[in-house]
């Protein structure tokens, strides 16, 4: 504008000097002052009306509708130079000196035109920033209201932890749910009936709507299993959900100094894995009598993880036990029907037809002998079995598959169970404290099934199990008799077993070499 004004002055200076009319000069100057005052007052009023923005002045966001607004133009009429000498020239000068200043409506235009830098606040006021900045606030309010609606639709969750002595009626009462609802849920299906089998430590969670009506019920039995019950038009739908566990393979080894239990603890084995290890080799090794210092063991087993943390131990996949220099190895194999068993590397079953010891005992208090001083009768008489000393209530397991041929009180044996195994073998279990529920005369039992509990009924001075083993009616020593083996691996599984056992045996070999190196 200033350059244009100078150019205009130069052009005017080239004309003959004429003295302008005083009245015309006064009019021109007055109009210019009025235009400037009006423009300034408009800018001040729009500034006061617009709210203060929390953002920097240069960060102006326009709504899409405002981007298309036309440029605001302000026309300033400047007074003519003193050299104007006539009314006609003055009119020409006035037209020539009308300068148009366009205020950009975007930050980009403002950056491109440095002349209007000082008018940026007026341009922001013209583009109505108060309307633009209120748009994000409206959007945020809309999102919040939608979230509130979703929260209402999802309902409210309530949770109760099952305590000792609790039942479903008490829990429903604490959750303010009606007994009629409980009755309808429990009787809706076989799966829903399982809801009644709650135990301390488990949780019951319910989701209710605004009216308090049931939308969902979840019985969390463990970290991986839960029962979900949903209402439907017909009644209720019950579904069991199991979370999958990540399986990892672990290997450990140990050397016995005092006992298998202590050596297993040092190797990091849990009690359940230690018992499983003993059960695998229990048909070949008497862990109460035949364990010696220096015996060694190695095993490969599964660990199961949930959310990156160890949840529990899985089964033993392969194991080795060196007892008094004799090596025993076992490989776990699962057939097509899901039945698993342990076999030697040659495919022979580790399981025998009978357990070597039918109870977890502390010690053997009396052995099989032809003459023993009876502690109650006070005289010598044959002892045709083995006495396993154990605490009262210790579970007693069936030594093999068979049928109950006697359950009741039998003289000095006290409470007694006799099992028949095939046509040749029978086993007797005496001095029981009580019988296992469901074990009756004529009922079938499986090897390892609990049939009763240790006690001291009959002629006994303390709690123990009196165990007898008979072949064709003749008493035999349970500790020394060669037990018949179970059926070997079926031929149709031989190739599959080989593919499973080969890498496991290689790992056992590596563990054995590591133990030897550590010992040296």
CATH number, domain of 453, equals: 2.70.70.10
Choice among 35-39, 390-394, 420-424 with the minimum mean pLDDT: 35-39
Given this model, what pLDDT does residue 288 score? 74
CATH number assigned to the domain comprising residue 311: 3.10.450.350
- Residue 150 has a CB neighbour count (10 Å cut-off) of 9
Helix (H) or strand (E) holding 333: strand 326-334
Average the pLDDT over 402-416 and give the result: 93
Q: 310-319 pLDDT, tens per residue?
A: 999 999 999 9
Residues 413 and 494 in one domain: no
User: What is the separation, in whole angstroms, between the first and last Cα of the chain?
Assistant: 100
Residues 37 and 115 in one domain: yes
Choice among 78-82, 137-141, 373-377 with the minimum mean pLDDT: 137-141
Look at residue 144 and tell me whether its pLDDT is greater than 60. no
Given this model, what pLDDT does residue 52 score? 44
Residues 31 and 99 in one domain: yes
Residues 92 and 7 in one domain: yes
The chain-wide mean pLDDT, for the chain, equals 76
Residues 202 and 305 in one domain: no
Residues 6 and 107 in one domain: yes
Whether 9 is in a domain gets the answer yes
Confidence of residue 51 (pLDDT cuts 50, 70, 90): very low
Look at residue 111 and tell me whether its pLDDT is greater than 50. no
Q: Give the structural domain span for 87.
A: 2-134
Whether 150 is in a domain gets the answer no
Please report how the helices 2-13 and 87-96 are oriented relative to each other, as an axis angle in degrees rounded to 10.
150
Given this model, what pLDDT does residue 74 score? 43
Given this model, what pLDDT does residue 485 score? 74
Look at residue 496 and tell me whether its pLDDT is greater than 70. yes
Q: What span, in angstroms and rounded, lies between the C-alpha atoms of 333 and 108?
A: 76
Look at residue 512 and tell me whether its pLDDT is greater than 70. yes
Average the pLDDT over 145-154 and give the result: 39
Given this model, what pLDDT does residue 520 score? 65
- Residue 1 has a CB neighbour count (10 Å cut-off) of 12
- Residue 285 has a CB neighbour count (10 Å cut-off) of 20
Pair 428, 385: CB distance under 8 Å: yes
Whether 358 is in a domain gets the answer no
Pair 84, 103: CB distance under 8 Å: no
Given this model, what pLDDT does residue 248 score? 95
Residues 165 and 81 in one domain: no
Look at residue 142 and tell me whether its pLDDT is greater than 50. no
Q: What span, in angstroms and rounded, lies between the C-alpha atoms of 170 and 34?
A: 87
Given this model, what pLDDT does residue 220 score? 94
Q: Map residue 442 onto helix, strand or coil.
A: coil
Given this model, what pLDDT does residue 424 score? 85
Choice among 16-25, 313-322, 378-387, 428-437 with the minimum mean pLDDT: 16-25
Choice among 62-66, 292-296, 361-365 with the minimum mean pLDDT: 62-66
Residues 404 and 300 in one domain: no
Torsional class of 458: left (φ above 0), alpha (ψ -120 to 50), beta (otherwise): left
Residues 412 and 437 in one domain: yes
Token pair of 129, please? 């920033």
Look at residue 126 and tell me whether its pLDDT is greater than 80. no
The last residue of one of the domains, among 204, 223, 242, is 242
Pair 251, 240: CB distance under 8 Å: no
| Residue 141 CB burial class (10 angstroms; 0-12, 13-18, ≥19) | exposed
Higher pLDDT: 50 or 220? It is 220
Higher pLDDT: 91 or 370? It is 370
Residues 411 and 347 in one domain: no
Q: Map residue 279 onto helix, strand or coil.
A: helix
Confidence of residue 376 (pLDDT cuts 50, 70, 90): low
CA 38 to each of CA 47, 62, 75, 150: distance values in angstroms, whole numbers, following the listed order: 14, 26, 11, 54
Q: Which of 15-29, 44-58, 359-373 has the highest mean pLDDT?
A: 359-373
Whether 141 is in a domain gets the answer no
- Encode 44-76: b = buried (16+ Cβ within 10 Å), e = exposed: eeeeeebeeeeeeeeebebeeebeeeeeeebee
Residues 19 and 125 in one domain: yes
Higher pLDDT: 365 or 431? It is 431
Helix (H) or strand (E) holding 517: helix 494-519
Q: What span, in angstroms and rounded, lies between the C-alpha atoms of 410 and 458?
A: 8
Confidence of residue 511 (pLDDT cuts 50, 70, 90): confident
Whether 124 is in a domain gets the answer yes
What's the total number of domains in the chain? 4
Whether 385 is in a domain gets the answer yes
Look at residue 94 and tell me whether its pLDDT is greater than 80. no
Whether 142 is in a domain gets the answer no
Given this model, what pLDDT does residue 63 score? 42
Q: What percentage of the chain reaches a pLDDT higher than 70?
A: 66
- Backbone angles phi and psi of 343, in degrees to 5: -130, 155
- Encode 239-261: b = buried (16+ Cβ within 10 Å), e = exposed: eeeeeebeeeeeebbbbbeeebe
Token pair of 260, please? 């298998």
Residue keyed to tokens 């001040």: 44
Given this model, what pLDDT does residue 21 score? 55
Q: 54-91 pLDDT, tens per residue?
A: 444 444 344 444 444 444 444 444 444 444 444 444 44
Given this model, what pLDDT does residue 78 score? 46
The last residue of one of the domains, among 103, 134, 165, is 134
Q: Chain-centre distance of CA 462, in angstroms?
A: 48
**Closest among 411, 432, 428 to 478, alpha carbons compared:** 428
Pair 83, 17: CB distance under 8 Å: yes
Pair 305, 311: CB distance under 8 Å: yes
DSSP state of 243: -
Whether 140 is in a domain gets the answer no
Residues 289 and 388 in one domain: no
Q: Chain-centre distance of CA 437, in angstroms?
A: 37
Using DSSP bridges, classify how beta strands 464-471 and 402-409 pair: parallel, antiparallel or unpaired: unpaired
């Amino acid at each position: 504008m200033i350059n244009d004004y100078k150019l205009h002055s130069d052009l005017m200076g080239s004309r003959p000097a004429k003295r302008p009319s005083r009245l015309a000069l006064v009019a021109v100057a007055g109009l210019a002052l009025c235009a400037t005052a009006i423009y300034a007052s408009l800018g001040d009023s729009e500034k006061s009306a617009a709210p203060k923005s929390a953002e920097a002045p240069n960060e102006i966001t326009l709504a899409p509708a405002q981007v298309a607004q036309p440029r605001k133009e302000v026309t300033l009429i400047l007074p003519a130079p003193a050299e104007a000498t006539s009314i006609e020239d003055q009119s020409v000068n006035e037209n020539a000196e009308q300068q148009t200043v366009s205020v950009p409506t975007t930050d980009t235009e403002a950056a491109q035109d440095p002349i209007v830098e000082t008018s940026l606040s007026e341009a922001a006021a013209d583009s109505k920033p108060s309307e633009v900045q209120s748009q994000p606030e409206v959007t945020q309010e809309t999102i919040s209201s939608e979230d509130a609606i979703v929260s209402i639709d999802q309902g409210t969750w309530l949770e109760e932890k099952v305590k000792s002595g609790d039942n479903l009626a008490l829990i429903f009462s604490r959750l303010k749910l009606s007994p009629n609802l409980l009755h309808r849920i429990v009787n809706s299906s076989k799966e829903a009936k399982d809801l009644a089998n709650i135990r301390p430590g488990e949780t019951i969670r319910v989701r209710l709507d605004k009216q308090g009506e049931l939308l969902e019920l979840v019985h969390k039995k463990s970290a991986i299993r839960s029962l979900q019950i949903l209402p439907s038009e017909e009644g209720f739908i019950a579904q069991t959900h199991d979370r999958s566990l990540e399986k990892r393979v672990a290997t450990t080894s140990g050397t016995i100094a005092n006992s298998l239990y202590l050596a297993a603890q040092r190797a990091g084995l849990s009690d359940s894995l230690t018992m499983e290890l003993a059960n695998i080799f229990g048909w070949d090794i008497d862990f109460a009598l035949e364990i010696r210092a220096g015996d060694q063991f190695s095993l490969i087993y599964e660990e199961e993880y949930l959310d990156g943390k160890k949840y529990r131990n899985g089964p033993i996949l392969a194991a080795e036990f060196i007892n008094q220099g004799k090596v025993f190895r076992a490989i776990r194999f699962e057939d097509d029907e899901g039945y698993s068993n342990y076999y030697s590397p040659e495919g022979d079953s580790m399981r025998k037809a009978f357990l070597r010891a039918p109870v977890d005992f502390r010690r053997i208090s009396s052995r099989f002998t032809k003459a023993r001083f009876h502690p109650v009768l006070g005289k010598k008489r044959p002892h045709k079995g083995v006495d396993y000393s154990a605490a009262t209530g210790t579970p007693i397991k069936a030594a093999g598959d068979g049928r109950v041929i006697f359950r009741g009180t039998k003289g000095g044996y006290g409470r007694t169970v006799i099992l028949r195994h095939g046509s040749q073998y029978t086993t007797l279990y005496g001095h029981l404290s009580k019988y296992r529920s469901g074990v009756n005369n004529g009922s079938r039992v499986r090897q390892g099934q609990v049939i009763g509990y240790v006690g001291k009924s009959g002629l006994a001075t303390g709690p123990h199990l009196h165990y007898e083993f008979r072949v064709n009616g003749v008493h035999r020593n349970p500790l020394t008799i060669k037990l018949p083996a179970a059926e070997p691996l079926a031929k149709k599984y031989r190739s599959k077993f080989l593919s499973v056992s080969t890498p496991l045996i290689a790992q056992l070999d590596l563990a054995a070499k590591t133990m030897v190196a550590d010992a040296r």
